Structure 1
Amino acid sequence: MTDTLTLLLQRLDEQKPRYHDLEMYYAGTQPLSFLAPEAREALGSRFARISSNLPRLAITALTERLRPIGFDGVDVWADWLRCDMDELSRTAHREALLLGQSYLICWTDSYGRPLVTVESAHQMTALRDPGTRRLTYAIKRWETATTTEAIVYGPEVITRYRANSTGATTAGFKTVDEIANPLGVVPVVRLLNSDRILDEGVSEIEDLIPLVDALNKLLADILVSSENAARPRRFATGIELEEVPVLDEDGEETGETESVNPFPESDKMMISENDSSRFGQLDAADLTGYERAVDVITQQISAVSGLPAHMLGITHDNPASADALRAAESSLTARAEARQAQFGRSWEDLARLIVGVRDGADPQQVDVRVEWADPSTRSEAQAADAVTKLFGAGLLPASYALKRLGYTDEQVAEIRAARRAEALDAQAIDLTRLVS
């Protein structure tokens, strides 16, 4: 077990630099790239933090379209809601899309009920069997005020370790406690964001990073140009420069003089008594070249991320129709459907663990399918009209039609109960008398 602990701790540490960079891009705090050393020295810290935070937009746009609405085959929705997974599932998706993976732990609370927690890849990692690709061991490490704690989750035993110092990496851990794992499987589920077999998780913003760096560089150039060249520059000829004394560090005259412009830059009006004086103004800098460059980079970001033009701030005078918006978001919708297929297996594994913890069943023998909300954008009128036509033609039962409209299993049951009660009321049937 010591070798396993060391291996898990090493895997946890080796991803720290990569996660740090991804977190900076998600927060929009990354430094400027593609900036010449001379320009960086001239700018100082004035534009060090300029950022168009499109990585956060790319992840948020996908997260909004990943909404589990029920499970088919097992009744775990009540446990799902009790553990706040209707909200925390979005956090798990966001972490997996950003860092490439996130984790879920399913164990029991103080009342013996299933308890699900969402964990970050900053604190958790896992090993998987190369044959079955199922998790064999997982670890969670965190720090307290004085110690470093770690828990290794195995298929048979769950072991807690402690190092009596903060910031411990692989040394100094000693066994504190061990408990048996009656489930027979690791009570941890990993949400893996990858479309490759051997990948250990890929960030959704990995391909966006160089494009976002280029966009931020162009935005910095626009600001620098507007500061130095966008305002018209004035000039004057035939005017003698003024001689002013040169002062030392203490403000005392050194006996030397220098020639300066008699008209300060801040003057709104320049006056001269010399008849030969002439004043003029240079043309302001044209920033349309930067605009075209920004458009090129933005189009590349749209192609790579699947974000439609209207989400990237590219708008037109005429508002798009609902069908046009739906067509523009087709690439983003297809990407969301691919993530549903990938994350769906993980949510089904979580449902199996919930059943195993609650009922004592073997999680590997539980059959379950997760149900997702429609990831596409459509108006309520369009959805209601399409479902009503299918229901009227007899192609859909009422319960399935309600699910197509986005209602959860619990809401469908409440609607059906309410309709039965209304039907009995219409027949003037007193349910209390029937029961008695």
Structure 2
Amino acid sequence: MLVPDFLSPDDQKVFDLLIGRVQQQWHQARHNYGYYTGANQKMAFAQAKYEDNFKKIFEKFSDNFCGMIIDSITERTRVEGFRMTDEPAADKDAQEIWQRNFLDADSNSTHTDALVNGRSFLTVWADEDGNPTITPEPFSHIAVKTVPGSRRQLEAAVKSYVDEWGRQYATFWTPTTVYSMYLDQDAPGGWVSKETTANPLGTVPVIQVNTRSDLYQHPKSELSSIIPIQDMINKTVMDAAIASEFAAWPQRYVTGLEIQEDSAGRPIAPFQVAIDKLLQAESPEVKFGQFEAANLSNYVTLIEMLVQHLASISRIPFHYFLSGGGMIPSGDAITSAESGLVAKAQERMLYFGEAWEQAMRLAFQIKGDSRAEAFSAETIWRDPERRTEAQHIDSLVKLSTIGVPQRVLWEKAGFTPSEIERFDALSEEQAEKAKEMADKYGPDDPQTDNEDQAQKTAEKAPQGNSGNANRELAGK
């Protein structure tokens, strides 16, 4: 057992526990990502002889739905910004931290890793200039240990990875100290200390990004209930491929034919059977015939049933799988069909949002900002529901009639905090120009008054040709 000799005995036990968990998580992540990408899915053959004949042909084939299931959720969980306090400036500062750390793209990768493995991680630290850095970390690199009796407070965490030269590095965090080290089999304890620094945050700067978990903190991959069905689909597809080779072509038979043998007593095949060969025999007693071709629709029916089960368990709409003849619903039908996926995405937002908000509070703690205690902070998410532009805008117009503020309507319309900030600036600019015009020409604009008068006249009942003339005037 390789344990750093520069750690205290208690820390050595925790480090040994966590480094073992990292290794377990690495194997688990490799297995899950193999299904997500389809790279590690192997076709199952019913018999060994089929594997010998067809393994090379179908070696890279997989009818993989796992990637689509994960991506369907990821694309509906997009962070737009943060509301740290009631002040818009707080959102601006959080957005600056977010953009500085390239999290528009990396947050998407974090959500994908969490969905595939059940959990991902974030580390929060300060760079050389003292700016907060939020770094997404894969499930395969970090393991954590919580304080006994707590589901959230961390006692320690370990990050371990291997560089391109094959050397293994590790970082061990405690609430008071951070240890950096690398593995050297010849060193005492196996680990060599690179750097030991105090932890100014007073807490382990690692955040768990859970896709969902029970009260026992067991992360659950989105693929855990999908993989068995995916394996069954691959097996059925492979059986259909083998059947198409041996049974889809009608098998022929012959009766009354004497089978010749070679000198060793082995039977000699009487014909070279092929699709373009004609069979004949000299004896009139010989009869030929053929069996019916295998009906491959049974395989199709079974695969469709398995896909339906897959859609039901994953809560992904049937039309995503092109089930039901490939008909894509529209209007209210598509809203109803995608309601399960929308609800699932919103549930995942609860777990993801808690992690991002905690990361932002730690980032503000590094900046020495009071918003480190902003426990009322909330993540602003892009609307996960897909609607037509006309439907969306119509609903926002109706909300405006009941007094919903303009800024809230902009958020619900899907505009980013940066765009909303720009809208505010443009609105202020327009208000300034209007004030300048009013100061220069007075509150009453003659041109506006004339247009209003023409509109009112045009709305009156027509009197000869005057009504038409007024309407033409109002339309100019």
Q: What are the residue-to-residue correspondences of 1:116-135 with 2, within 5 Å? A: 116-132=134-150, 133-135=152-154
| Counterpart selection for 1:163 from 168, 183, 198 | 183
Residue number in structure 1 paired with 2:471: none
- Contact 1:102/1:190 (8 A) holds in 2: yes
> Alpha-carbon deviation of 1:12?
1.6
Matched, 1:199 2:253: no
- Contact 2:81/2:381 (8 A) holds in 1: yes
Residue 367 of structure 2 aligns to a residue whose secondary structure is: helix
CA deviations 1:272-297 (Å, max 9, x no partner) are: 78777766543211122222211221
- Contact 2:119/2:139 (8 A) holds in 1: yes
> Alpha-carbon deviation of 1:110?
3.0
| Counterpart selection for 1:290 from 299, 321, 324 | 299
CA distance in 1 between counterparts of 2:211 and 2:357 reads 16
CA distance in 2 between counterparts of 1:377 and 1:34 reads 41
- Contact 1:183/1:362 (8 A) holds in 2: no
- Contact 2:44/2:238 (8 A) holds in 1: no
> Alpha-carbon deviation of 1:337?
0.9
CA distance in 2 between counterparts of 1:180 and 1:411 reads 40
Matched, 1:174 2:192: yes
Are residues 21 and 34 of structure 1, via their aligned partners in 2, closer, same or farther at CA, if it must alter by over 3 Å? farther
What are the ranges of 5 or more consecutive residues in structure 2 without an aligned counterpart?
A: 1-10, 85-89, 439-476
Matched, 1:350 2:356: no
- Contact 2:308/2:323 (8 A) holds in 1: no
| Counterpart selection for 2:310 from 301, 326, 333 | 301
CA distance in 1 between counterparts of 2:364 and 2:171 reads 23
Deviates more, 1:260-269 or 1:378-387: 260-269
CA distance in 2 between counterparts of 1:379 and 1:268 reads 60
> Alpha-carbon deviation of 1:395?
2.6
Please report the TM-score for the alignment, with normalisation by the length of structure 2.
0.79
> Alpha-carbon deviation of 1:306?
0.5
Matched, 1:25 2:28: no
> Alpha-carbon deviation of 1:343?
1.5
Are residues 417 and 364 of structure 1, via their aligned partners in 2, closer, same or farther at CA, if it must alter by over 3 Å? closer
| Counterpart selection for 1:389 from 381, 398, 402 | 398
Are residues 421 and 415 of structure 1, via their aligned partners in 2, closer, same or farther at CA, if it must alter by over 3 Å? same
Are residues 130 and 336 of structure 1, via their aligned partners in 2, closer, same or farther at CA, if it must alter by over 3 Å? farther
| Counterpart selection for 1:108 from 126, 137, 152 | 126
> Alpha-carbon deviation of 1:307?
1.0
CA distance in 2 between counterparts of 1:18 and 1:128 reads 21
> Alpha-carbon deviation of 1:11?
2.0
CA distance in 1 between counterparts of 2:49 and 2:18 reads 45
Q: How many residues of Structure 1 are paired with residues of Structure 2 in the alignment?
A: 418
> Alpha-carbon deviation of 1:262?
3.6
> Alpha-carbon deviation of 1:235?
4.8
Deviates more, 1:224-233 or 1:108-117: 108-117
Indicate the structure (1 or 2) with the bigger Cα radius of gyration.
2
> Alpha-carbon deviation of 1:372?
1.2
Residue number in structure 2 paired with 1:249: none
> Alpha-carbon deviation of 1:194?
2.4
Looking at secondary structure, tell me which structure has more strand per residue.
1
Are residues 296 and 119 of structure 1, via their aligned partners in 2, closer, same or farther at CA, if it must alter by over 3 Å? same
- Contact 1:146/1:165 (8 A) holds in 2: no
CA distance in 2 between counterparts of 1:198 and 1:411 reads 41
> Alpha-carbon deviation of 1:48?
5.0
Residue number in structure 2 paired with 1:59: 70
- The root-mean-square deviation of aligned C-alpha atoms, in Å, is 3.1
- Contact 2:124/2:134 (8 A) holds in 1: yes
- Contact 1:161/1:177 (8 A) holds in 2: yes
CA deviations 1:160-212 (Å, max 9, x no partner) are: 1222259x9x9511322111222222222110222311133111100111111
Residue number in structure 2 paired with 1:312: 321
CA distance in 1 between counterparts of 2:286 and 2:47 reads 40
> Alpha-carbon deviation of 1:59?
0.9
- Contact 2:114/2:209 (8 A) holds in 1: yes
Residue 41 of structure 2 aligns to a residue whose secondary structure is: coil
Tell me the percent identity: 28
Q: What are the residue-to-residue correspondences of 1:65-84 with 2, within 5 Å? A: 65-73=76-84, 74=90, 75-84=93-102
> Alpha-carbon deviation of 1:351?
0.7
- Contact 1:218/1:294 (8 A) holds in 2: yes
> Alpha-carbon deviation of 1:45?
4.6
Amino acid at match of 1:141: S
CA deviations 1:74-96 (Å, max 9, x no partner) are: 33111101211111111001111
- Contact 1:232/1:282 (8 A) holds in 2: yes
- Contact 2:259/2:267 (8 A) holds in 1: no
Matched, 1:5 2:54: no
| Counterpart selection for 2:385 from 376, 380, 386 | 376
- Contact 1:241/1:262 (8 A) holds in 2: no
Please report the TM-score for the alignment, with normalisation by the length of structure 1.
0.86
Amino acid at match of 1:157: T
Matched, 1:14 2:24: yes
Residue 301 of structure 2 aligns to a residue whose secondary structure is: helix
Amino acid at match of 2:214: R
CA distance in 1 between counterparts of 2:209 and 2:264 reads 75
Are residues 171 and 36 of structure 1, via their aligned partners in 2, closer, same or farther at CA, if it must alter by over 3 Å? farther
Deviates more, 1:286-295 or 1:328-337: 286-295
- Contact 1:97/1:204 (8 A) holds in 2: yes
What are the ranges of 5 or more consecutive residues in structure 1 without an aligned counterpart?
A: 247-253, 431-436
Residue number in structure 1 paired with 2:249: 231
Q: What are the residue-to-residue correspondences of 1:207-286 with 2, within 5 Å? A: 207-235=225-253, 259-267=268-276, 269=278, 280-286=289-295
